[in-house]
Amino acid sequence: MASTHRAALAALALLTATAACDQARPTLGEADAGAGGDCTTCHGDATRSEASALLQAAPPLDAHGSATGPAVGAHQAHLHATAVSGPIACAECHAVPTQRLHSNGQVDLAFGALARAGGASPAFAGGSCSGVYCHGATLSGGSLTAPAWGGAGPLGCGSCHGAPPPSHAAGATACASCHPGTVNTDGTLNLAGGLHLNGLVDVSRAHPDGWADPAQHGRAAKRDLSSCTACHGADYGGGTSGVSCNGCHGGTAWQSNCTFCHGTKVAAYTAADLPSAAPPLGTQGETATTDRAVGAHRAHLDGGAIAGAVACAECHAVPADLGHLDGAAQVTFGSAARRDGAAPAWSGTTCASTYCHG
């Protein structure tokens, strides 16, 4: 009798299971799927002010009503704009369910295109993610490239990549010079630009290609060398760019070598070589005497049948530093030009009332 009863129960169970197999599994209704309404039945908060019902479904709260459990973690930090990034779509970390049967107690991670950008191979284990593009997998120098899901506090620039990265000069802090769409001039992230965490390294170089060629940067620097100090420092030692002018020019001797910018270059320059600094060549490559930068320099410095050589300081002060490199001709007449009460003047193209010229 007992065995007959057990056989009947087994048959009933098999019949029930067989019948269930051909039944449609429960899914979100069309209206629910569009609004995400059913999702907040288990987690999140339908009353929370969010841009969409799907965001309302993200913890806190988790499926057990906890606002601090492991299922809560960094959901809100990813889904809303922060000082580090804009909102990250839900689908970048896991598939957005369309069926209720995902409620199996398992965390079903499925990293999206952003997490895999640049060939990254993201993974999640032991409560931490690793190898994720968003946390510096394709960069280097970051101190926290495998953050814990429930870790405290926001991340900074140095968490995901070096600040500056190892490929940059150690003193490079003017990030906006090369990454204006990513970093603001005050050092904060330019989230409005939309380039931070976009899967690319967006670079807009401070200088055009080939800038290292003296034919490009040399003449520009001679027109206004002070503009270089904004990035390279007042001593040209690197500044916020971290790139030292002195490093490229073999030390600081170039700063006191007058022939480095004009005239006939003298490698081991001394004060006695000052006449060699007179054009030709001018700072912009001028060689013709009709060019103002060249003009009558040699006629004065070499002397001739009418007069002997005239010292540089008789027409302008001999600079003691690089502050004179502003593109302006600084004419200051000396004592010889002022003899017998002469009042010399320079109009920008010609001199007048100098003792030397009667």
Which residue type, as a one-letter code, is found at position 282? G
User: CB burial class (10 A; 0-12, 13-18, 19+) of residue 54?
Assistant: buried
The domain in which residue 285 lies consists of 257-357
Whole-number pLDDT of residue 48: 87
- Is the dihedral angle over the CA atoms 33, 38, 43, 45 positive or is it negative? positive
| Per-residue pLDDT band at 152 (split at 50, 70, 90) | confident
- What whole-number percentage of the chain has pLDDT above 90? 25
* The two structure tokens encoding residue 74: 């960094």
Q: What is the DSSP string of 24-59?
A: PPPB--HHHHHHTGGGGGTSS-TTS--SSHHHHTSS
Establish if 142 belongs to a structural domain.
yes
Establish if 276 belongs to a structural domain.
yes
Q: Return the DSSP state at 315.
A: T
| Per-residue pLDDT band at 264 (split at 50, 70, 90) | very high
Whole-number pLDDT of residue 22: 38
* Helices (H) then strands (E): counts for the chain: 9, 4
Do 295 and 222 share a structural domain?
no
* The two structure tokens encoding residue 180: 């204006």
- What whole-number percentage of the chain has pLDDT above 70? 90
In the chain, the number of structural domains is 3
pLDDT above 60 for 12 = no
Beta strand ranges found along 191-339 (DSSP E): none
Whole-number pLDDT of residue 4: 47
Establish if 335 belongs to a structural domain.
yes
Establish if 184 belongs to a structural domain.
no
Do 340 and 274 share a structural domain?
yes
Establish if 46 belongs to a structural domain.
no
Do 296 and 237 share a structural domain?
no
Establish if 36 belongs to a structural domain.
no
What is the Cα–Cα distance from 53 to 37, expressed in whole angstroms?
6
Cβ contacts of residue 16 below 8 Å, gap of 6+? none
Q: Please identify, among 254, 284, 305, the residue that sits at the C-terminal boundary of a domain.
A: 254
Do 316 and 303 share a structural domain?
yes
Separation in Å, CA 13 to CA 9, 10, 17? 6, 5, 6
- Is the CB of residue 56 less than 8 Å from the CB of residue 36? yes
| Per-residue pLDDT band at 115 (split at 50, 70, 90) | very high
Whole-number pLDDT of residue 105: 74
What is the Cα–Cα distance from 187 to 153, expressed in whole angstroms?
20
- Is the CB of residue 150 less than 8 Å from the CB of residue 75? no
Write out the H or E segment, with its range, that includes residue 345: strand 345-346
Do 297 and 242 share a structural domain?
no
Taking alpha carbons only, the member of 284, 279, 166, 175 closest to residue 231 is 175
pLDDT above 50 for 276 = yes
Whole-number pLDDT of residue 201: 86
